[in-house]
Structure 1
């Protein structure tokens, strides 16, 4: 057996965003284990960069984190949406931006020991400002920082949100690789 198989699922809680269950699982090793699993539809986050390589970061109050966090515009995938649709919608709602150019930065698992959430990461360029539409339960400030400063904040612990850390590092790596390729082509 190469994959786990759910033998029994006992729901504990079903909410608007997540559901929690005790799952009896046959592991690929053949061993049977009981796991507490939180199911989530997944999400998308966007590294939005303007012409000056400034990144749009949200300073958002998060009750579960007991305070304010620096985050990328992001949100939950709604039924019928693709991850790119979600990224587009959330960029508009939270940051008041639309984008012409989208680059896939891959995906990440937020906490795979207990959580099924997969977050799809994007880089957006060719930005146009539009009115934002924050939801009633969102307390968000929109900020623009040089990408280099945001990366410094990742390194010194000012930014602690996992999707934001990974998104910023991946975007930086992609930009750096593209610049290296351009300089190599110019040197030929």
Structure 2
């Protein structure tokens, strides 16, 4: 993976509003952009997240069908979660894979990072390929507000779902899947 481009910082002039919400903060800031233009911009501050593409020994991938309240629909997604204070991206993903999908993994390959919504959020999602999976004894519970189902899909079926549009897939999962396929030689 090539390194991300160096940041070109803007100059923060003032914060005119701020609202704390679960796992994020919304700010309205007066900013001077690197080219000299000043303006008022809204930004969602996010602590960052991790996502894994878990692959079973037989080549099937582990996905979640998860209800997302913002779009009022169930989406196909790979296991993912927000970084807790003091966690590394990998330790977050190891925890989330167990909590959401009910697996641990012995092999972790980084797939780089992605910026899901850079027009209004500073969130960075760290992507991983998880292999050599072991199912846990307990069934995954997820968080109290998570409504999810664990699925095992053939790579061709996932590709067909992506191509047809018959299933909703989120952008982070699509990006991770495309990067994982390159590493897997699919």
Same fold (TM over 0.5): yes
TM-score, normalisation: structure 2: 0.91
The alignment status of 1:175 with 2:181, answered yes or no, reads no
Corresponding residue of 2:84: 78
- How many angstroms apart in 2 are the aligned matches of 1:33 and 1:156? 41
On the 8 A contact 2:49/2:124 being kept in 1, the answer is yes
Corresponding residue of 2:152: 144
Instruction: Determine helix, strand or coil for the equivalent of 2:70.
Output: helix
On the 8 A contact 2:109/2:130 being kept in 1, the answer is yes
Q: Could you tell me how far 1:172 is from its partner in structure 2?
A: 0.5
Corresponding residue of 1:38: 44
- How many angstroms apart in 1 are the aligned matches of 2:95 and 2:182? 25
Instruction: Determine helix, strand or coil for the equivalent of 1:38.
Output: strand
Instruction: Determine helix, strand or coil for the equivalent of 2:160.
Output: helix
On the 8 A contact 2:74/2:168 being kept in 1, the answer is no
- How many angstroms apart in 2 are the aligned matches of 1:119 and 1:133? 23
Runs of at least 5 residues in structure 2 that lack an aligned partner in the other structure: 1-7
The alignment status of 1:134 with 2:134, answered yes or no, reads no
Q: Whose helix proportion is higher, 1 or 2? A: 1
Instruction: Determine helix, strand or coil for the equivalent of 1:110.
Output: coil
- How many angstroms apart in 2 are the aligned matches of 1:7 and 1:53? 52
Change (3 A) 1:172 1:159: farther
- How many angstroms apart in 1 are the aligned matches of 2:86 and 2:99? 18
14, 20, 28: which one aligns with 1:14: 20
Q: How many residues matched?
A: 177
- How many angstroms apart in 2 are the aligned matches of 1:87 and 1:166? 16
TM-score, normalisation: structure 1: 0.90
Instruction: Determine helix, strand or coil for the equivalent of 1:105.
Output: strand
On the 8 A contact 1:26/1:32 being kept in 2, the answer is yes
* 4+ aligned runs moved over 4 Å, structure 1: none
Aligned CA-pair RMSD: 1.5
